[in-house]
Amino acid sequence: MTVRRRAGVLLHPTSLPGNGGIGCLGPELFRFLDFLSESGFSLWQVLPLTPPAAGNSPYSSYSAFAGNPMLIDIEAMVKDGDLPADTQFDEFSTDRIDFGAVTNHKERLLAMAAANFFAQGRTPRLEAFWRFCDSTDWLHDYALFQALKGHFHGQPWTSWPQDLALRDQAACERASLSLGVEIGVQKYQQWQFWLQWQRVRDYAAERDIAIVGDLPIFVSHDSSDVWCNRNLFLLDNTGLPTEVAGVPPDYFSSTGQLWGNPLYRWEEMARDGYAWWVARIRQMLTQFDLVRIDHFRGFEAAWQVPADALTAVEGSWVPGPGAGFFTAVQNAIGSLPFIAEDLGVITPPVEALRDRFGLPGMKILQFAFDSDASNPYLPHHHLTNSVVYTGTHDNDTSYGWAASLRPEVAQAMREYLGVTGDDLADDLIRTCLMSVATDAILPMQDILKLPTGARMNLPGTAYGNWGWRMPPKSLTPALAAHYRQLVKRYGRLATSKKM
């Protein structure tokens, strides 16, 4: 059986150009999908689409199930009649996202749209909204959580009155009544996100573009997930974490990374066949064709750090659920359309877990040239069942990376690839596409030849990340033609149904 070789692009929707201060599920996204199709790409990878919490990171979210309301296309709501045609939109920079200003502006418009929608009375759209609410198990808890956060001025749930923090049933019912308007706004936002994302997914499918989602292994402590499921996490009797997640010292940080997410009570989760996880994965598979599992190695063993530790250095490895978890998920949903993010401290047991379930791992070329021939990221170690990247959202752009290479590393790369090295970033892109790996994915910043200033995230830093936006009018016919030639040359060309 011949395996289809594919090429794709990594771009989070917030990075799209357009009005409103942040990329959204609007016209610029459909233009981007057209560009992928014209270029012969057949994969689009995103970061988590859930509502970001601390530091605006998509990997720290108020819910593992909900969609990010900041991605909603406001102009589509004008067309639907939920906002008037003369709605005033604030002006924002097109270079970077001002998260605070954008959030304030967009939340005001979304609340106005929700009020107008509900004021229309009983309509077919209202019936569709109620069907969505009735069929979405997690929705009311999430909406109540967000309404309570607003009511308590953004305080974490452990700071709320004890009866609400510990989800006393009578207290939650009273809050549901008193906060009904805000709960309605939250549910309306999720309905709008779902409608708009389905249009995006259908448009991509028509062009033979598979969408790759991203599943962070851990969730934020200040989330509806933890608030509603305290028994599934390592918490004390007040709800505070006793141990938190992180990673030991690595490529990105000499003191490791202290993520602060609560760790799971895996034995408790196993009692009901990992039902919370199965529900989470099922939800994602309604949105995506493939799912990258961030920090896959945590299912074999995770770096556990005391909650009061100052750095991740004080942690230790503790066992994860292992094969039992993936067997349970496989029994519940069938085949496992996952990509294992197997970066960092990877041991033979982690590799064995990945390979037991046939999951493709990741190869990052920016990691390949700073040691010797045993480096697992060098192309001669690549496997067919893997996904190769020049870099990920956590890396520098390839042009920034190439500009900062130590002379001996640049020389090693030139000698290994047999190139002059006049444009090492371009050499990296071509190496990525020619790899034996079935799938090759390029960050949009590399396609646009952008320097370090376009970097998405610098691990270990809390501020200044996630704000990059693609310059307007970047996706030219000439650029599409160039990449179509490249992906064809390396046997990755997709022939769209719309071509």
Q: Is 308 a catalytic residue?
A: no
Q: How far apart are CA 171 and CA 158, in angstroms?
A: 15
**How far apart are alpha carbons 353 and 473 in whole angstroms?**
44
Residues 56-71 as b/e (b if ≥16 CB within 10 A, e otherwise) read bbbbbbbbbbbbbbbb
Q: Please identify which of the residues 243, 341, 342, 439 carries the catalytic annotation.
A: 341
3-state DSSP assignment of residue 461: coil
* CA 408, 409, 412, 418 torsion-angle sign: negative
CB 141 within 8 A of CB 228: yes
Catalytic residue (one of 34, 163, 289, 394) = 394
Q: What is the largest CA-CA distance in the chain?
A: 72
Contacts of 143 (CB under 8 A, 6+ apart): 183, 184, 186, 187, 190
Token pair in block for residue 87: 């709605």
Whether residue 208 lies in the annotated active site = no
Which residues face 271 on adjacent strands?
none
Identify the bridge partners of residue 443 per DSSP, sorted by sequence position. 10
Q: Do residues 72 and 193 lie in contact, with contact meaning Cβ atoms separated by under 8 Å?
A: yes
Edge-to-edge strand order for the sheet containing 257-262? 257-262, 243-247, 301-306, 316-319
| Buried b / exposed e along 77-106 (16+ C-beta atoms within 10 A) | bbeeebbeeeeeeeebeeebbebeebbebb
> In the 8-state DSSP scheme, what is residue 228?
H
Sign of CA pseudo-dihedral 109, 115, 119, 120: positive
Which residue is catalytic, options 294, 300, 342, 446?
A: 294
DSSP structural state of residue 235: B
Rg of the Cα atoms in the chain: 23
Task: Return the SS3 of 133.
Answer: helix
Question: Does residue 394 have an active-site annotation?
Answer: yes
Question: How far apart are the C-alpha atoms of 148 and 172, rounded to whole Å?
Answer: 10
Active-site positions read 294, 341, 394
